Homo-oligomer: A and B are copies of this chain.
């Protein structure tokens, strides 16, 4: 045990993604003291994912020079349907064998020996941008996470707006009614054109139909089995025409979908994050901003559009923000020592 870590109120944050699991240790000022990442298991089931999460959290603690059991708490940003109170994650489609409900909170507390809190991955990342990143100057914003799918987080009056629990699905704004089939099974969603998974399916179809592209060669060269953000970037740099065409469409569609959300909510700012968003950076933030313009109903004062200020780390930093900061045992000790 490391009492100094407890004194410093160090917290852990785990960003559970479909491709990688990232863990960090932060101090009370959100400074990252250690981090680690591993690829997300592609087989097995929820308990295997939990074991991998525990392993990478422990590694991050080692990197920070503390024992994981000394953290005051660990927060997790997870895909799927989160019941924060019950500590369960249900139906996380991008994770292996995770169709049903799993008590991830309890399992991680058992493995790590510290209190664990769960949150939705996109919500915690949006909140991190609001509190620590590009969203700091604003009271209202929409976070758009351009990656495997298109995640969205809505901040109104400086607070997350969750609706009945599932708000933020900007990726499933219909931009082309009756259009391309989305990975969600519906038609014409933003994600059907701009999500990395959907773009890969479309690229593969066109490639198999004889369309030239270097995307899959680059993928094989780099020993990957999916078109990562880095592969898309390389293909663009190599002036691959199909990659350009698909990414151009993605930008247009993102512009229309985000503009529609701005027309409805009139927020102050839009923040672009996610694997592709962070990888492509400022030039693409500019392009998305330009693609929004023709669709903005109030076009003389467009919202500010920013790149995610926390980059790739937003998910883990947002997870650390929701980490329990008081250990139940310590709470009892404090209560005993006072007049309560």
- Assess whether A106 is interfacial by the CB under 8 Å rule: no
- Check if A298 is an interface residue, CB within 8 A of chain B: yes
| Assembled-state Cα–Cα distance A168/B189 (Å) | 21
- Please tell me which one of the listed residues B165, B184, B186, B257 contacts residue A174 in the complex, with CB atoms under 8 A apart: B257
Cβ–Cβ contact B140 & A163, under 8 A: yes
Q: Are B175's CB and A264's CB within 8 A?
A: no
* A25 CB → nearest B CB, Å: 34
A166 touches B266 (CB 8 A): yes
Is A263 on the interface with B (CB-CB < 8 A)? yes
Residue A38 interfacial (CB < 8 Å): no
Residues of B within 8 A of A156 (CB): 156, 161
Residues in A251-283 with C-beta less than 8 Å from chain B: 252-253, 256-257, 259-261, 263-268
Q: Mark A135-179, 1 if CB is under 8 A from B, else 0.
A: 000001000000000001010100001111111111011111100
**Cβ contacts under 8 Å, A189 to chain B:** 295
Residues of chain B within 8 A (CB-CB) of A173 are 173, 260, 263-264
Contact B161 A263 (CB under 8 A): no
Q: Does A294 contact B (CB under 8 A)?
A: yes
Which B residues are in CB contact (< 8 Å) with A170? Answer: 263-264
Tell me, rounded to whole Å, the shortest Cβ–Cβ distance linking A162 to chain B: 7
Would you call B166 and A297 a contact (CB within 8 A)?
Answer: yes
Q: Which interface class (under 10, 10 to 19, 20 to 34, 35 or more) fits A?
A: 35 or more
A162: nearest chain-B partner, CB-CB = B266
Residues of B within 8 A of A256 (CB): 174, 177, 188
Q: With a CB–CB cut-off of 8 A, which chain B residues contact A163?
A: 140, 265-267
What are the residues of chain B within 8 A of A176 when measuring CB–CB?
175-177
Q: Does the CB pair B169–A263 fall under 8 Å?
A: yes
Instruction: Closest B residue to A301 by CB, please name it.
Output: B164
- Write out the residue numbers on chain B whose beta carbons fall within 8 Å of the beta carbon of A186: 294-295, 297
Chain B residues within 8 Å of A188, by CB: 256
A27 → chain B, closest Cβ, in Å?
Answer: 34
Hey, which chain B residues are within 8 Å of A298, CB to CB? 166, 169
Instruction: Name the interface residues of A1-47: CB closer than 8 Å to any CB of B.
Output: none
Q: Counting chain B CB atoms within 10 Å of each CB, which of A184, A256, A297 scores highest?
A: A297
5 closest A-B pairs (Cβ-Cβ)? A163-B266, A167-B266, A169-B263, A173-B260, A172-B297
* A contact set with B: CB distance below 8 Å: 140, 152, 154, 156, 161-170, 172-177, 184, 186-189, 252-253, 256-257, 259-261, 263-268, 294-295, 297-298, 301
Other A-B pairs beyond A165-B266, A189-B295, 15, CB < 8 Å: A156-B161, A164-B266, A169-B298, A172-B295, A173-B263, A174-B256, A174-B260, A174-B295, A176-B176, A176-B177, A177-B252, A186-B294, A186-B297, A264-B264, A265-B265
